[in-house]
Structure 1
Amino acid sequence: MLTFGCLTLNKNIEREYFTQIAKKGRLFGFEVFCFSPADIDPKTELVHGKKYNPETENWDHSIFPIPTYIYDRCFYSSEDVLKKYGPIVQWMKNRKDIFFIGHGLPNKWKIYNELSSHPILKYYIPETIKAESADDIFNVLKKHKKIILKPENGAQGRGIIALSMKGRKIELITARHKKIIRKIFSKKDDLKKWLTQLLNVHSYLVQEYLPLHDEEMRPFDIRIFMQKTENNNWQELGRGIRKGIEGYIISNLHGGGTVEKFENFLRTVDRKKRQLLLEDIETIVTHLPQTLEQSFGPLFELGIDIGVAKDGSVWVLDTNSKPGHKTILLTNPAISEQLYSAPLTFCKQMDLQRS
């Protein structure tokens, strides 16, 4: 049988998702495994991970060769974690006997430089700078009065910070463990010291803070989920509205946000603005996946986060090659069978093309 591996840094985070895929393994002629880069023995190159048992419907501890087809769902929570496990993943990608269904995307700065130079997509990309020093951040804050800092290698909304000028004071807002953290800096030197320490540990990007809130002052965005068909063509599986908690910076579900159907949101939009919004989304969906693939290599799925400002302007907030599936499953449960089968269907087609 063919071998399919779910690659993850934490086997519990997406356990149910991996299990649903594994249940379909036998139907497509696959043995399904789950493992972490840390599970690979560097001497034998064997994996000490888990193998799905279709008879018991359990994941059993097992020792096995690295699977031929790998679905990379590793989320790097920090640059240290990336440095620790990234080289192992890259080593597997470089092997000619192992095939990844999508090679992922680089950091946000590289993505920004690519999209901001695109003749069409550039109009949807917020102006961004890389913070080399605290002074870089202060310069943007002085210009816009309210800004947002995003980790260059961030994922799942971690580490995002908002700074806003309040008279002679500066307010900092961030979130940790689903709790809002606010801090007021009365002296610029105190904030400069804090930012310098932050930049010594993490790389950050700086943007103007865009007014992307609903009437209840809850941050919201449109998550569009795209995936490759077995014929290597892009298709949209669905879109939904993600709303954050009032006072939060972003609408990320990991921060306690909620999901609503896109159609419900669309009915609240003025008819003229509605048509323009749909046209803008269609432009983004048409050009963005191909542009990223041309620049960074093959992808399998893509989460595109789109913000709509009060003035109707549309912005690409983030692109994620390892998107979560909660939004699409909550807004369209009927898509579940297709969603769980897609990685195996794609690999099966890859195998046919290779043979």
Structure 2
Amino acid sequence: MTDQATLDKLNAGFKRLQDSKECHSLLKKYLTQDVFDKLKSRKTAMGATLLDVIQSGVENLDSGCGVYAPDAESYKTFGELFDPIIEDYHGGFKPTDKHPPCDFGDINQFVNVDPENKYVISTRVRCGRSLQGYPFNPCLTEAQYKEMQDKVKAQLATFEGELKGSYFPLTGMDKKTQQQLIDDHFLFKEGDRFLQAANACRYWPTGRGIYHNDAKTFLMWVNEEDHLRIISMQKGGDLKQIFGRLVKAVKHIEQKIPFSHDDRLGFLTFCPTNLGTTIRASVHIKLPKLAADRKKLEEVAGKYNLQVRGTAGEHTESVGGVYDISNKRRMGLTEYQAVKEMQDGILELIKIEKSM
């Protein structure tokens, strides 16, 4: 059972959420009195409570989602809250639906989406992974952060060929290295306020680090928002090469480090917006004619299940006419299908731009 101090905080947080006229988060939408009463006393085997799930959304009333999973079990223990949020965010992925098994498909089906280098500036494919048997950020101990980093580091050291590179722990990082990684847009900063409020930044910078290959076309964040953020990227539009590199890396890490996976939800991560394939394939692209009207651009992109964001991602504006366009769907389809949706949509957008 949840202790009284936690219950008091939960009751105060729930009241704050209900009283707010400005809050439009998925948390507020689905945490009804009935659901709250059902869940407020529950605890997972690792000790996570409803407070761990909702504290970020209660503190930051401008959250879009407002919930995080403190451990893998939370998705079931607090299912009455997570299920409708997942269904809403992931476009109708119902509690009775099942995410398909992992399938990267045939890499040779992918192409260079812009061989003439006229529109696409760079391409990036990333995914999130959690290490099986460990909770997510709010429930991790300092010793676990270190232990996870050691396990991952040992496997990274076995990368060969184009994936071979160096690991940089945040602890004790010198200013020069730090500045270089910031200049390369590789280094993540200490958590934003949403992560801070979710208790995701404890023991910072212990157990955190970044790996990149020598060519700086592959990198991995260790223990930032997720246990692992795996990223493959390069200039231009050669999606086949970029996705191929990501798949090779993921398979190599998995040989020694099992990932947290659920038969229904796919790969499990800290945030319910990033489940299933956890894949976001994106391009930085200039489409001056189509983007002359951002609403039109978003409308056309929407037809191909693509999401349009500003140059620096969510909640940002376009700089110099450059947009970040990515696949929107991450659940209910395979990794291959998610990346293929991005590829097919971008090819169509370029075709439309050329015809204008």
- TM bracket, shorter-chain basis: under 0.3
Structure 1 or 2: more strand by fraction: 1
**TM-score with structure 2 length normalisation?**
0.27
